[in-house]
Amino acid sequence: MSAHAIHRLRAAWFALAASVACTTPAQAQTTPPSPAPPASAYTAAVATEWLQLALTLTQQTPGFSPPVASRALAYLGLALYESTVPGMPDRRSLAGQLNELSSLPWAQPDEPLHWPTVANASMATMTRMMFPTASAENKARIDLLERSLPLKHPQDFNPIAITADISNRSESFGKLMAMALMTWARTDGGHEAWGPLKRGQANYVPPSGAGQWSATPPSFAPPLLPYWGSNRSFALVNAASCPAPAPPDYSEEVTSAFYKEAQELHRIANAATQEQRQFALYWADDPLKTPTPAGHWVFIATDLLKLRKANLAQAAELYARLNIAMADAFIANWATKYQVNLLRPVTYVQLVIDSNWVPTLMHTPAFPDHPSGHSSQSSAAAAVLANTFGAQTAFTDNTHNDRGWGPRNFKSFQAAADEASLSRLYAGIHYRSSVEAGKVQGACVAQKVLGLKLVR
């Protein structure tokens, strides 16, 4: 963002802050609730429509690799929750619980707010800031959604009950919350990470040696986001808070555990059943073709919120927990990947087993192997959804219906996460130990996020 745009943002912040109180979490918890109807009195429509648009933007905006997408979705979920939490008498802000987020704006108790209007303004503002490189067409979609939601959902936007004062005050509070969170977001290390190299940051040079990662065919692309693991996490103390089990010791001996894992992958990938091939392609969730792996789970969550006729408060809490969990899973995962720096199966197999072999279903991503990112974030997402809807909840996944690959039914969230994890083995791009290690890491991340104190 240009210096002029930053100046305008700060000016807007101070102008809006003059009319809305900023409090610490401790103060916020003692503030009486607004006399206006609570957030739970409204449907989840504002929330689900904005997250649906976010998935479209994620899919169609260059640069939104899986880690980058997870970050954007996390800030959107957090903006939704923090802008509406003053309208949830039994819930508290995450300020004071997330890293370096000490305080956030809080609504004045004697000035009623309309929570769908607050959420609409907050999500519109945050979406624009999270997708600054979206196409002109998609920026127009953001504007259109913001204007059209009150007309599309009259049950939540009753013009008789919403005075001009309430409407203006609600919009101001929503925008202020988004800008406060964006000020915090700019310091996390991930802001514009996909753009030009940060000033003073050395160009990354991968370590070399036996068993170390090197660029993979066919494009031999440079490593993706090598510093992402050093980003500030949300709920984790740091990326090391959820370590992944180590891979087997590197060896080229045919009797070694490492060789046997590579041999297993080579055999499975070459003789994958039609079902295994389907799993591999279904969960690939490639950038610019799909809303990425994190978007896949947001799609599932959105369908369930609609099916259960969830209210705005329920949607805000789920989107915050789910997206924070996936973002932290990617940070922890990326930190481990570049610390272990394990070579990919295609490199090992060509070196030791079959010099002509390449995975046939998809290209190997341009970053180290261990642990599997799909496993980490899918396990984290599944645990959050299980906590919300129940561990044994069966559901239908409609994410890829438009591609002719669905709907698909799963007996539980963990069953879906297990399939997503194993899909990388079937595709020939992750060793089994990397898949299993990612699941352990993701489960750890989920427990940290579920440990956040949202209930008063």
What is the predicted pLDDT for the residue at 199?
54
Q: Do residue 33 and residue 171 come from a single domain?
A: yes
Q: Which of the four pLDDT bands, split at 50, 70 and 90, describes residue 25?
A: very low
Give the mean pLDDT of the chain: 92
226: which residues sit within 8 A by CB, 6+ positions away? 204, 206, 338, 367
What is the predicted pLDDT for the residue at 13?
47
Domain that holds residue 424: 228-450
State yes or no: pLDDT of 11 exceeds 70. no
What is the predicted pLDDT for the residue at 202?
75
State yes or no: pLDDT of 5 exceeds 50. no
How far, in Å, CA of 126 to CA of 147, rounded?
Answer: 15
Residue 203 lies in a domain: no
Q: Residue 72: give its domain's CATH number.
A: 1.10.606.20
What is the predicted pLDDT for the residue at 194?
54
Domain end, chosen from 185, 218, 247, is at 185
pLDDT digits (tens, 9 = 90+) for 184-222: 999 999 987 755 445 566 788 999 999 999 999 999 999
Q: Which of the four pLDDT bands, split at 50, 70 and 90, describes residue 403?
A: very high
Residue 262 lies in a domain: yes
Q: Do residue 80 and residue 21 come from a single domain?
A: yes
Q: Do residue 240 and residue 161 come from a single domain?
A: no
Q: Do residue 27 and residue 167 come from a single domain?
A: yes
What is the predicted pLDDT for the residue at 26?
38
pLDDT digits (tens, 9 = 90+) for 118-134: 999 999 999 999 999 99
Helices vs. strands in the chain: H and E counts, helices first: 15, 4
Residue 216 lies in a domain: no
How far, in Å, CA of 275 to CA of 380, rounded?
Answer: 25
Residue 314 lies in a domain: yes
Q: What single string gives the DSSP state of each residue in 419-445?
A: HHHHHHHHTTSS-HHHHHHHHHHHHHH
Number of structural domains the chain divides into: 2
Mean pLDDT along residues 296-304: 98
Q: Do residue 236 and residue 176 come from a single domain?
A: no
pLDDT digits (tens, 9 = 90+) for 267-281: 999 999 999 999 999
**Which ranges in 257-291 belong to alpha helices (H)?**
257-270, 274-282
Determine the residue type at 92.
R
Determine the residue type at 297.
W
Mean pLDDT along residues 434-448: 98
Q: Do residue 377 and residue 313 come from a single domain?
A: yes
What is the predicted pLDDT for the residue at 160?
86
pLDDT digits (tens, 9 = 90+) for 158-190: 988 899 999 999 999 999 999 999 999 999 999
Q: Do residue 160 and residue 233 come from a single domain?
A: no
Residue 219 lies in a domain: no
Q: Which of the four pLDDT bands, split at 50, 70 and 90, describes residue 288?
A: very high
What is the predicted pLDDT for the residue at 147?
98
Q: Do residue 179 and residue 240 come from a single domain?
A: no
Query: For residue 438, which of 340, 303, 298 has the smallest C-alpha distance?
Result: 340
Which own/partner pairs from 194-198 qualify as long-range (CB within 8 Å, at least 24 positions apart)? 194/63, 194/64, 194/65, 194/68, 194/225, 195/63
State yes or no: pLDDT of 285 exceeds 80. yes
Residue 105 lies in a domain: yes
Q: Do residue 339 and residue 407 come from a single domain?
A: yes
Residue 199 lies in a domain: no
Residue 288 lies in a domain: yes
State yes or no: pLDDT of 410 exceeds 80. yes
What is the predicted pLDDT for the residue at 195?
52
What secondary structure letter does DSSP report for 406?
-
What is the predicted pLDDT for the residue at 29?
41
How much of the chain, in percent, has pLDDT values that exceed 70?
90
What is the predicted pLDDT for the residue at 95?
98
Phi, psi of 205 (to 5 degrees): -120, 115
Q: Do residue 176 and residue 249 come from a single domain?
A: no
Q: Do residue 281 and residue 180 come from a single domain?
A: no
Tokens standing for residue 127: 């979406």
Domain end, chosen from 185, 218, 240, is at 185
Q: Which residue has the higher pLDDT, 22 or 219?
A: 219
What is the predicted pLDDT for the residue at 200?
61
Q: Do residue 387 and residue 284 come from a single domain?
A: yes
